[in-house]
């Protein structure tokens, strides 16, 4: 098997989260650890000294209320100071934090709450209470950050009661002797390929990652984070958040939670971030803002950025070039919730290659199995899945390597991602198709494509479901020249005509004839959290997309099935390598 190892040795790992907080509270006492935007439009922060006192008070009052070491606390909340203090108090006392997405509907919320076996819960407010039923009898108490009125429960406690002062003769409840291998965080996966799995992570898993990152990049107490990534997901709640906490940097919460590009720019002016962690979709929206306004360009690219970090998908080459020509390094990484999450990072001094996600961080080893699956070993790898015997059966190899489910290869500049193993399919003639390769080709050809999903298992050719970037289509003042990619369509009809050429060009780039796209459905609707075609971390959930739009797939394979959405079918003549016609359904 081919194997990649880090060029650096891992340094000593801090024992546990309680020790990390104790060290940093002494080291950065009067420095801001966290900031939120106030009603007056300005950011207000909390110092490490007060923050540490609050976490200690919460741990003491949890113990007083009967919270025991090893018990679990569901955090059904949005990112906030209260959530952060409570999560760290639970971890530092010896409990297990279980964050879940604040806007899950009732069926998903109750599924995860019941599966978790948590006996305590915290909610942001009434919105979360509305999304749980009345049969959660296992919960001893429910803490609420904002006002809640719910006559179904008699165990509601305002979060403020956890901030009551500790008697002077009482010692700290933050336990800096907790074993490094103790589980402190149960985090649910994003569920891109099905039901979320509960990943059990230890103090060592989380803090070994930070010890590794401390070697390979320069993030320190002088850095400023403007952050929106949700803490129920590993990218935001482990990788970004603990990078800020570990280094002593100031973490400023983006007030729109990343949903509004105008808000991000207003907060950018106030915070002037030195590092920014995000996903390609948000970088694309920010760049579009800079194209439309010289003022926005000056704000975004002149804030003192040391580097930007991107994950979840490759940053388009054009966007990379915009940062690079301004000497702002672009770092890309790869990992999974099961690996806490980061396994590899790219070297910003090397030319970025699409799909290549760099070399292992210190302490982590990566190898490629005979079937192409990427396997990982290191102190960042989880204990296992909670209450999931089936998933745990085939999670580790006999020699202890974690089987990631991703397929990849090793190149001169590091690990190359190819696809999720369970997305690769065979056509009726036995030829194997890697759908992510085809999806990337199409996405790169047309600026107005938001998402592409390729299907064709068991059929004689692949087809595409295409979802346009409707925000761009609705912008009459924003257009690309042909040199920048394509003409500017104004409607779904025009996009269909535009894509006929783009799909033709994409097919020309697909070397294997059997993999060329013969038809595509351009659908006038958006993927969303509500129908589970997007995960809470805004990743596409392919299985759910294919299930929801199965009628469109049938139509592309010759059946006549009525559909509700407005759709254009683009048919391509692969034999003669031309785009033949557009059909309006």
CA-CA-CA-CA dihedral for 349, 350, 352, 356, to nearest 10: -120
pLDDT of residue 512: 82
Tell whether the model's pLDDT for residue 491 goes beyond 70. no
pLDDT of residue 482: 42
| Low-confidence winner among 205-209, 345-349, 503-507 (lowest mean pLDDT) | 503-507
Across the chain, mean pLDDT equals 89
pLDDT of residue 536: 77
Q: Measured between alpha carbons, how far is 4 from 531 in angstroms, rounded to an integer?
A: 39
Residue 151 confidence class, pLDDT cut points 50, 70, 90: confident
| Low-confidence winner among 103-117, 483-497, 514-528 (lowest mean pLDDT) | 483-497
Count other Cβ atoms within 10 Å, centred on residue 145. Answer: 20
DSSP letter for each residue of 494-509 = HHHHHHHHHHHHHHHH
Q: What percent of the chain has pLDDT over 90?
A: 60
pLDDT of residue 510: 80
| CA-wise closest residue to 206 among 424, 8, 383, 390 | 383
Where does the chain hold its CATH 3.40.50.12780 domain(s)? 1-14+187-421
Tell whether the model's pLDDT for residue 248 goes beyond 80. yes
Higher pLDDT, 11 or 94: 94
Tell whether the model's pLDDT for residue 236 goes beyond 90. yes
Q: What is the largest CA-CA distance in the chain?
A: 85
| CA-wise closest residue to 493 among 381, 582, 406, 376 | 582
CA-CA-CA-CA dihedral for 155, 156, 159, 160, to nearest 10: -90
* Residue carrying structure tokens 């906030």: 80
Q: Measured between alpha carbons, how far is 373 from 371 in angstroms, rounded to an integer?
A: 6
Residue 271 confidence class, pLDDT cut points 50, 70, 90: very high
Average pLDDT over residues 461-465: 92
Where does the chain hold its CATH 3.40.50.980 domain(s)? 17-178
Higher pLDDT, 317 or 258: 258
**424-584: which CATH topology?**
GMP Synthetase; Chain A, domain 3 (3.30.300)
pLDDT of residue 48: 98
Q: Measured between alpha carbons, how far is 365 from 354 in angstroms, rounded to an integer?
A: 22
pLDDT of residue 487: 52
Calculate the alpha carbon distances from 471 to 157, 444, 474, 521, 525 in Å. 42, 18, 5, 19, 12
Residue 266 confidence class, pLDDT cut points 50, 70, 90: very high
- Where b means 16+ CB within 10 Å and e means fewer, 428-462 reads eeeeebbbbbbbbbbbbbbbbbbbbbbbbeebebb
* Residue carrying structure tokens 């074993």: 179
Mapping DSSP to helix (H, G, I), strand (E, B) and coil, where does residue 49 land? helix
Q: What percent of the chain has pLDDT over 70?
A: 92
pLDDT of residue 17: 98
Q: Measured between alpha carbons, how far is 374 from 289 in angstroms, rounded to an integer?
A: 37
Mapping DSSP to helix (H, G, I), strand (E, B) and coil, where does residue 521 land? strand
Condensed to tens digits (0 to 9), the pLDDT of residues 325-340 reads 899 999 999 999 999 9
| Low-confidence winner among 19-28, 78-87, 167-176, 396-405 (lowest mean pLDDT) | 167-176
Where does the chain hold its CATH 3.30.300.30 domain(s)? 424-584
CA-CA-CA-CA dihedral for 17, 23, 27, 33, to nearest 10: 10
pLDDT of residue 580: 40
Higher pLDDT, 68 or 491: 68
Average pLDDT over residues 334-360: 93
Average pLDDT over residues 512-532: 85
Instruction: Give domain 1-14+187-421's CATH superfamily.
Output: ANL, N-terminal domain (3.40.50.12780)
Pairing, β 275-278 against β 330-335: unpaired
Higher pLDDT, 143 or 149: 143
Secondary structure E strands in 28-140: 32-37, 43-47, 72-76, 96-100, 120-123
| CA-wise closest residue to 147 among 123, 162, 125, 121 | 125
Token duo for residue 442:
């199409």
The CATH number assigned to the domain with range 17-178 reads: 3.40.50.980
Average pLDDT over residues 417-439: 87
Count other Cβ atoms within 10 Å, centred on residue 299. Answer: 17
Tell whether the model's pLDDT for residue 400 goes beyond 90. yes
pLDDT of residue 431: 87
Mapping DSSP to helix (H, G, I), strand (E, B) and coil, where does residue 120 land? strand
| Torsion sign, CA atoms 253, 256, 258, 261 | negative
| CA-wise closest residue to 191 among 131, 142, 133, 233 | 233
Tell whether the model's pLDDT for residue 583 goes beyond 50. no
DSSP letter for each residue of 437-491 = HHHHHHHHH-TTEEEEEEE-TTSSS-EEEEEE-HHHHT-TT----GGGTS----S
Taking a C-beta distance cutoff of 8 angstroms, is the pair 11, 226 a contact?
Answer: no
Taking a C-beta distance cutoff of 8 angstroms, is the pair 337, 199 a contact?
Answer: yes
């Amino acid at each position: 098997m081919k194997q990649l190892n880090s060029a650096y040795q891992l340094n000593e790992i801090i024992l546990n989260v309680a020790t990390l907080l104790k060290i940093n509270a002494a080291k950065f006492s009067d420095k801001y650890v966290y900031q939120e935007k106030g009603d007056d439009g300005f950011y207000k922060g909390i110092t490490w000294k007060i923050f540490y006192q609050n976490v200690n008070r919460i741990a003491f009052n949890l113990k007083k209320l009967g919270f025991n070491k090893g018990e679990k606390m569901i955090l059904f909340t949005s990112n906030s100071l209260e959530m952060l203090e409570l999560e760290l108090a639970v971890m530092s006392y010896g409990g297990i934090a279980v964050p879940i997405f604040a806007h899950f509907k009732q069926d998903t919320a109750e599924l995860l709450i019941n599966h978790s076996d948590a006996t305590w819960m915290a909610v942001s407010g009434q919105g979360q209470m509305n999304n749980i039923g009345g049969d959660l009898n296992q919960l001893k108490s429910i803490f609420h950050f904002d006002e809640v009125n719910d006559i179904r429960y008699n165990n509601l406690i305002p979060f403020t009661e956890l901030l009551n002062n500790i008697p002077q003769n009482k010692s700290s409840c933050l336990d800096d002797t907790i074993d490094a291998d103790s589980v402190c965080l149960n985090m649910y996966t994003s569920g891109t390929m099905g039901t979320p799995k509960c990943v059990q992570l230890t103090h060592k898993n989380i803090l070994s990652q930070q010890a590794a990152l401390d070697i390979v990049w320069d993030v320190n107490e002088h850095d400023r984070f403007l952050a929106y990534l949700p803490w129920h997901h590993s990218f935001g709640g482990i990788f970004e958040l603990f990078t800020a906490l570990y280094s002593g940097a100031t973490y400023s919460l983006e007030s729109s939670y990343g949903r509004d590009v105008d808000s991000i720019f207003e907060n950018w002016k106030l915070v002037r971030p030195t590092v920014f962690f995000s996903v390609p979709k948000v970088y694309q929206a920010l760049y579009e803002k800079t194209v439309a306004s010289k003022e926005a360009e000056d704000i975004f690219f002149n804030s003192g950025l040391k580097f930007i970090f991107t994950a979840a998908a490759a940053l388009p080459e054009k966007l990379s070039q915009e940062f690079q020509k301004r000497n702002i390094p672009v770092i890309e990484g790869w990992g999974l919730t099961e690996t806490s999450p980061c396994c590899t990072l790219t070297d910003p001094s090397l030319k970025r290659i699409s799909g290549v996600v760099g070399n292992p961080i210190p302490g982590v080893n990566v190898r490629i199995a005979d079937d192409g699956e990427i396997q990982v070993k290191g102190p960042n790898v989880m204990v296992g899945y909670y209450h999931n015997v089936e998933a745990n059966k085939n999670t580790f190899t006999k020699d202890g390597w974690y089987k990631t489910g991703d397929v990849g290869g090793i190149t001169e500049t590091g690990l190359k991602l190819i696809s999720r193993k369970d997305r690769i399919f065979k056509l009726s003639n036995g030829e194997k198709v890697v759908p992510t390769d085809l999806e990337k080709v199409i996405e790169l050809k047309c600026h107005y494509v938001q998402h592409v999903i390729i299907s064709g298992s068991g059929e004689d050719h692949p087809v595409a479901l295409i979802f346009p970037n409707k925000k761009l289509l609705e912008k009459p003042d924003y257009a690309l020249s042909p040199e920048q990619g394509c003409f500017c369509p104004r409607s779904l009809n025009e996009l269909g005509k535009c894509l006929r050429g783009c799909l033709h060009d994409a097919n020309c780039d697909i070397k294997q004839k059997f993999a060329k796209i013969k038809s595509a459905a351009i659908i006038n609707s958006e993927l969303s959290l509500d129908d589970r075609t997007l995960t809470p971390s805004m990743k596409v959930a392919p299985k759910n997309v294919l299930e929801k739009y199965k009628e469109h797939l049938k139509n592309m394979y010759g059946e006549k099935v009525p559909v509700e959405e407005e759709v254009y079918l683009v048919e391509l003549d692969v034999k003669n390598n031309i785009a033949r016609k557009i059909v309006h359904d």
